[in-house]
Structure 1
């Protein structure tokens, strides 16, 4: 195509300079989310010490060291009762692990979160986790950081999309604060929260994550959280092990997801108000804590232990089973808490248990791969899980095994489950979310590829009387036709509404269409423009069809309408069906040949 036929207004991206302002606001959001995350971590430690030691302290406590005995069973029950009361009389949006609620707010609520959520979510989560709840702090801080971003955006004159960007920026800053994983936080935003891949959203989110990481480093927060120095030999045998761990992680992901929602379905059948459900979940947590105290709380010490290779088979299996049961029951009961840390713990325990049957590797290597695979498979976010594990351990040498395991786990869960643990909850509320992002066919297809070239036209010399007879003839298959003059230039479109308008206006029946259309503005399509702009023109013209005019000569070359746009979209789907049909036919031919 010659240079003079290229629309210079088009570019790779549509981002405007206003993104700089949103990025500047994202800095403020990141700072607020940073201190919000620090406050939440401190509040969890305070609640833990108050609940198990009766002391007002922000020091770290190992829940396995408490001296409460059998009475420790009541601690999660009391904590869950408080959370249930807060949810019923405060806001029911604090229930659950936070990420589905953030997605729902983005997709359905114009990215507007209530101030009560910003206040009650971290408090309820701190109480739940501090009283032994088997959750992580990342889900609540993602929701809290998102609430901070949303509240700041609601106070400013920004668009819905910009509010979404600032909400996600707060969520990314919150995740970075807890784990020190800015790249993984950005990837989480891209894979789960933004629902687009554009500089206008990516840049502010990246700015927020970077600022949060700089802030936590300045405050001397530890990074990486779980140093791991193991290496992996790149070999075919190693690849087989990576894939095996990926399959195991995917299957564990499927099992955990089904277990959580089976528990939720069980609670829905109870003849009591949902406010009391967390108490039942808390009782199960308390009993599980008696069996294995390490299953309680955030359990970051468990992650460190399995990465160090210190978990033997019996201990790893006990931790996996107890943690899975109390986590699924508590989460299904609707209490407040996160899922990232539990997934890492359960995946790591599985990896430690399987390591004896896998190729020899550095201690903790298979546990690390299983952690990432379980997280990536359960959340359907393989890139997030990969970079999260690299940043969490500070070890980029295991990047290839990690992506192999995470991609495998992702494939397993996609093939076995319609929805993830995050989107299932939203689907149960009657909303469907598509997580496949593709370039819109409208942005790739030109008008010339879909227009009708053999166009039936009417002459500008046709009278109004003749136009009425022409349009009402039984053989007419469509109601509108371009009006052209002797040189082939388009003067407008004639259709029943325009004819009726002229008749009501008292136009004489012998007046020519050329005279009736003289001086009227007509919207036309360019054969080289893309369907994106054509759709806008159709809406602007409030028309079902537009004439396609050669820009150099001004003559009619085609006719295009909304059905042509739909056919362009159907063409892409048809190509997918054709490929599937071809594969199916090949399989059927193979089966037939085998039987013969």
Structure 2
């Protein structure tokens, strides 16, 4: 009886803390996200005056980050490592939150090509980890990391189901952490609801395409899934090569980011004056609104993003992956003679899934953004994309389940 009461009390505590984590993380997510959108708009309007300073600002921030960031400089790698540590001491320093936020703002303000989920996931994991330590719930360290990742992702993208599965899938490829799912769901829905209430902008597009299942459609979707899976794998591999190349030839992180920043600035000016800077939401919007998408948009976005992240600028990869998948989907739609918004939506989800080695998360992010009636299509394409890429991931510390 005592054991039963202890279990119930423990479960209730975790549920309450999950709600608290979801709300607190979403508030920071909203502040970060709203300012990032303002920064992005400002960059678009004053691009030519800001882009020349990318290398200089990157060098200044890198110097400060290296000097005062401590273990926070490991970023997502530290989040992954924390789940395996048995020590009772706090593993993720609170300074990770302001550094990741400011670093990402600067990357976007001065024209780097990067995402934003890095901040959300890291701040969620940090806050959750610290709450677990405060309540001395050391045996639930991994659970708290999952809760924090789910809250951070859901608070930023307002896709709570996808956020829950992303958090439970991403730590170990091929293995779901079932114990944490109920608490991650609570945190994710709390975060998503609060972000929506606070007015954080969410991207959504309701598909209107009528695409009845047939044998020919299934064959086309499998082929499309293979291509999206390969693009995700290429992105992850190039990111890995970029990091290795720049670290080898420019071991000093300040020199590295100066060289990379200069290259990005020149390329960004020459390539349509900032079309590929920032999150890539312009490419996403163009993909679904029928505006101009060049056949090579997705290729250039891959190149500039892997250089931006590879040389050390902060941000993330997820939103650029959405942009890459959507714009590549538009290209494939004419080849496979399918509605462009339909294939763009499939690319939006499945390229992200391939590059992160997840398949439930992208399937549900597709449905939460584009409509639940399309779940069978997303499941099929995302599963194929997941199976195609069995080796490469954007997260170097991600582990694999030994089957």
Q: TM-score, normalised by structure 2?
A: 0.89
* Runs of 4+ off more than 6 Å: none
Distance 1:186 1:271 in 2: 38
Distance 1:344 1:146 in 2: 23
Which residue of the partner structure matches residue 298 of structure 1? 279
Matches within 5 A, 1:270-309: 270-290=249-269, 291-292=271-272, 293-309=274-290
- Are residue 21 (structure 1) and residue 13 (structure 2) matched? yes
The number of equivalent residue pairs is: 397
Counterpart of 1:294 in 2: which secondary structure?
A: coil
- Are residue 378 (structure 1) and residue 378 (structure 2) matched? no
Distance 1:26 1:324 in 2: 36
Say if 1:288 and 1:226 are closer, same or farther in 2 by CA, change over 3 A: farther
Tell which deviates more after alignment, 215-224 or 395-404: 215-224
Mapped contact 1:87–1:275 kept (Cα < 8 A): no
Given the alignment, which residue of 100, 103, 110 partners 2:80?
Answer: 103
Matches within 5 A, 1:389-400: 389-393=366-370, 395-400=371-376
**Structure of higher RCO (CA pairs closer than 8 Å, 6+ residues apart):** 2
Counterpart of 1:133 in 2: which secondary structure?
A: coil
Which residue of the partner structure matches residue 394 of structure 2? 421
Mapped contact 2:325–2:349 kept (Cα < 8 A): yes
Distance 2:254 2:71 in 1: 13
Distance 1:353 1:125 in 2: 30
Which residue of the partner structure matches residue 314 of structure 2? 336
- Are residue 351 (structure 1) and residue 332 (structure 2) matched? no
Distance 1:273 1:357 in 2: 45
Give the Å deviation of 1:353: 1.5
> C-alpha offsets along residues 223-243 of structure 1, whole Å, 9 cap, x if unaligned?
453443334221112112211
Distance 2:134 2:9 in 1: 21
Distance 2:13 2:179 in 1: 10
Tell which deviates more after alignment, 224-233 or 24-33: 224-233
Counterpart of 2:249 in 1: which secondary structure?
A: coil
- Are residue 259 (structure 1) and residue 251 (structure 2) matched? no
> C-alpha offsets along residues 35-57 of structure 1, whole Å, 9 cap, x if unaligned?
111121134245x3xxxxxxxxx
- Are residue 201 (structure 1) and residue 201 (structure 2) matched? no
Give the greater-gyration-radius structure (CA). 1
- Are residue 190 (structure 1) and residue 168 (structure 2) matched? yes
Give the Å deviation of 1:92: 5.7
Say if 1:199 and 1:248 are closer, same or farther in 2 by CA, change over 3 A: closer
Which residue of the partner structure matches residue 90 of structure 1? 68
Give the Å deviation of 1:67: 5.7
Give the Å deviation of 1:168: 2.3
Mapped contact 1:86–1:124 kept (Cα < 8 A): no
Given the alignment, which residue of 125, 146, 162 partners 2:104?
Answer: 125
Which residue of the partner structure matches residue 435 of structure 1? 401
Counterpart of 2:365 in 1: which secondary structure?
A: helix
- Are residue 42 (structure 1) and residue 34 (structure 2) matched? yes
Query: Unmatched 5+ residue regions in structure 2?
Result: none
Give the Å deviation of 1:199: 5.9
Distance 2:7 2:213 in 1: 41
Give the Å deviation of 1:24: 0.6
Which residue of the partner structure matches residue 406 of structure 1? 382
Mapped contact 1:79–1:282 kept (Cα < 8 A): no
Give the Å deviation of 1:72: 4.2
Distance 2:70 2:288 in 1: 37
Say if 1:202 and 1:164 are closer, same or farther in 2 by CA, change over 3 A: same
Distance 2:250 2:118 in 1: 29
Matches within 5 A, 1:53-68: 61=41, 63-66=43-46, 68=48
Distance 1:31 1:178 in 2: 12
Which residue of the partner structure matches residue 212 of structure 1? 191
Say if 1:272 and 1:192 are closer, same or farther in 2 by CA, change over 3 A: closer
Give the Å deviation of 1:384: 0.5
Which residue of the partner structure matches residue 587 of structure 1? none
Distance 2:288 2:42 in 1: 18
Distance 1:92 1:236 in 2: 55
Give the Å deviation of 1:194: 7.5
Say if 1:205 and 1:379 are closer, same or farther in 2 by CA, change over 3 A: same
**Aligned alpha-carbon RMSD (Å):** 2.8
> C-alpha offsets along residues 560-596 of structure 1, whole Å, 9 cap, x if unaligned?
xxxxxxxxxxxxxxxxxxxxxxxxxxxxxxxxxxxxx
Which residue of the partner structure matches residue 180 of structure 1? 158
Q: TM-score, normalised by structure 1?
A: 0.62
Which residue of the partner structure matches residue 151 of structure 1? 130
Give the Å deviation of 1:324: 1.1
Give the Å deviation of 1:277: 1.6
Which residue of the partner structure matches residue 141 of structure 2? 163
Which residue of the partner structure matches residue 342 of structure 2? 365
Counterpart of 1:61 in 2: which secondary structure?
A: helix
Distance 2:47 2:111 in 1: 14
Higher helix share: 2
Say if 1:216 and 1:89 are closer, same or farther in 2 by CA, change over 3 A: same
